Structure 1
Amino acid sequence: MSPGSAADAAASFDPLRPRLIRVAYRMLGSVADAEDVVQDAFLRWHGTDRDAVREPEAFLRRVVTRLCLDHLKSARHRREDYVGPWLPDPVVEPEPVEDVTLPLLLALERLSPLERAAFLLHDVFGAAFDEVAEAIGRDPAACRQLAARAREHVRAERPRFPIERERGLELAAAFFAASREGDMTRLSGLLASDVAIYSDGGGKRRAGLRPVRGIDDAMKLWGSLARFFTRDGSDLVRYGFVNGLPGFVSRESDGMIQTTALLIEDGRIKAIYVTRNPDKLGHLDPTLH
């Protein structure tokens, strides 16, 4: 039978769109690319004999996965040429999301596209290996091996002791206040001795070209930044969970926003992830479009 109208296709597709974007974003690490992939999946859904599809969500998840795999072939090359540390686009939510936090998203970058797809579809989204096999074009046994290899590589980045929501936001507020007010004593007390700082400017805003590691170098960096903050200002936009980690959105002295995410272990900040690249922040601030 004919595929039907765009309105008919949208009626069955739109309720699934948020979940499909979630799959695509976790595959790609880019909000804009995820939205493009899902829109492409909609166009394919519109041209499909939908009455013949028994499980629309599983069918569309396979379509989205295949489109993501195609996209990753070119995306990997672009990231090899990236200026400074690469961080995934920040997604800011009011509640913590524990299935795929920012450190796990970074660990997924070290996997092959097939390993990433097998792990996400099975371990995160609960798809059976038969469905995974259809999505990535491998047999179920091979998919089990891919997921197992991926699981081993990312094991250390899975959240072991998720921080309570209120405690996470409390530490984010303490970090914002200490870093912006130049209270180095208080700031030092918040950081782990092996803290690492990653800043992503993408060559478009000032940011470190390499991660800063260890509390001594971290304190030197924040000491120099404190002079800028006290002179030029830094305004809080809101607190929230940035890719599952407590953090905040701020507007800096250049008038542009940035996000800061904090990895907290044993009550101390173990890693700080700052996203400054305006290409990654447009979905959070319409003025960047």
Structure 2
Amino acid sequence: MTERHVLGISGGKDSAALAIYMRDRHPELDIDYFFTDTGEELPEVKEFLDKLEGYLGKPIVRLNPGRDFRFWLQQYNHFLPSPQVRWCTRMLKLKPFEEWVKPWLAAGDKVTSYVAIRADEEYREGYSSKSENLYVRLPFREAGINKAEVIDILESSGVGYPKYYEWRSRSGCTFCFFQQKIEWVRLRERHPDAYEAAKALEKDALEHGSPFTWSKGESLSDLEHPARIMEIKSEYEIRRARRRSNIPVNPLRPITHTIDDIDDIYGEDDGNGACLICHK
């Protein structure tokens, strides 16, 4: 029986910090790092993966689902995925991972998957193994590592954060339905082609009777009206100011516009909705 170790990287802060942590703390383990590429990732994610590979000193395996988002959209009657029906996570993230480890498990190998759920995320659960020889470990929870320590790991390594944290609070597809409305506005400003592609997918879905839009309660066509954009930005600034005023002052960590700030600005639990294979 061969022992194998795998660690999924989402392109976000926690999974990147875990990869760095495991590389530095457990050099005796030959870990296979992987990224499930849906074909709809932000360009900043790909840039960050290249940077992380340099630190890890080994390639991050790109898992390709074979059939892209548009194929599965047709299979699901052109209905967009949503927090209630997350077929994109199942078909474009979980299934490629399961297919990747399937030959090892069939051969009787012991496979340990390391998932980046922190100690301050008691409410989160990792991937539920469907095989008796696939084990899931949560090193951050086991070591008592919280968000502040994750940030320290990224900063001290020199890897830092993905650039999309300048305007967005999570990794994932360009049209992830967990985005806040201000993030859709920023996507339109920074990646207009990606926004237009998401709008076209939404239009097609609505024409086929999809009950969901990408952003809750309004279509991207409605969201992009100038008056609506101004309203969203105004609401965001009010929320941002309110949340910043509630951040405890720490003289050892000045407040800057980083993920430490963004999590509070956007007012969301940064673990909410994360794909379970690699978390954030």
Q: Which structure shows the higher strand fraction?
A: 1
Q: Normalized against structure 1, the TM-score is what? A: 0.22
The structure where helix makes up a greater share of residues is 1
**Which protein shows a greater Rg?**
1
Bigger relative contact order (CA 8 A; separation at least 6): 2
TM-score, normalised with respect to structure 2: 0.23
